[in-house]
Structure 1
């Protein structure tokens, strides 16, 4: 479903790009958009009003083309940046389109990531750690899930020194990071 949501927004953004140049391209974009709109509305049922969403997608397309530089290729990040730059009043006029973007942003592109998260959840919260607070558990899960960033961007020596600086007892017990070998 992620692909359908993303494709619907990108197709809508590009729909009127070639309106003056190529009538055949416009018809192709309209057909693709209708097909994806049907799929999204069928999947989400009552969450979206199909006619309202169709109208908002047309409005969004015209507004996007008018207010952005002519991009040959539009990514979901371009659309997110554009929608985030709108005022709250403009967002409320495009409420259905905004909801589509929110769904894209919170929906995992694949299931593998979420499956790995649940496996990590089982490892982090094992029977030895059942008394762990929810806040600490959430922080550990964020560190575990984003370990690539943590391993490459964090300087553990600085973190150690900040932790030790909180009290004299910690300083006596752990010492400075450059002293620990």
Structure 2
């Protein structure tokens, strides 16, 4: 599945190295992929012109899709290459698997058991996010978090 998605969007990365006929074929495939009914996200003719007029020395070798998108943003070229801009944004936001969603539901099932069914939704959401991002949560200092929480919730009355 990931290879199919990469193949559809390969023209966005490989365009400096492609022959004109191959560029046209891949750009047409990309435009057809991003068309639903009579609504097209890209203009095929304009995309070809944008890719052919893109300076060959600017994209570095082995530049990833996200790198090229950032490059267009940093150089202020998104208005000059609007079809490439749209296609790159779609490419970097297209999920290639549903593993993230499946992992979220798996973690939710582990946390929300029968014995914990009285847990509030806010607490459940917080625990789920911590569990999904456990690598980051391992770096959090629990002592500092508890001290911060205690300082905010302290009800000590000073006489």
Range class of TM-score, shorter chain: 0.5 to 0.7
For residue 75 of structure 1, report the CA deviation from its aligned partner: 0.5
> Scaled by the length of structure 1, what TM-score is found?
0.60
Which structure shows the higher helix fraction?
A: 1
CA offset digits 1:110-133 (Å, max 9, x no partner):
233322211112222334244513
CA offset digits 1:88-108 (Å, max 9, x no partner):
x829x72x6555444444443
1:164 aligns with 2:150: yes
The match for 1:12 is: 12
The 3 A distance-change label for structure 1 pair 3 and 45 is: farther
Superposed counterparts of 1:34-73, under 5 Å: 34-38=28-32, 40-41=33-34, 45-46=36-37, 48-49=39-40, 52-58=42-48, 60-62=50-52, 65-66=54-55, 69-73=58-62
Query: Is the 8 Å Cα contact of residues 8 and 30 (structure 2) preserved in structure 1?
Result: yes
Tell me how large the CA RMSD over aligned residues is.
3.7
For residue 59 of structure 1, report the CA deviation from its aligned partner: 5.1
> Scaled by the length of structure 2, what TM-score is found?
0.67
CA offset digits 1:105-164 (Å, max 9, x no partner):
44433233322211112222334244513x44333322221112222x322232222122
1:155 aligns with 2:155: no
How many residue pairs get aligned? The number is: 155
Query: Is the 8 Å Cα contact of residues 2 and 108 (structure 1) preserved in structure 2?
Result: no
- Taking the aligned partners of 2:126 and 2:46, their CA distance within structure 1 comes to 39
Query: Is the 8 Å Cα contact of residues 10 and 74 (structure 1) preserved in structure 2?
Result: no
CA offset digits 1:43-81 (Å, max 9, x no partner):
x6238417x432453355357x33973411120221331
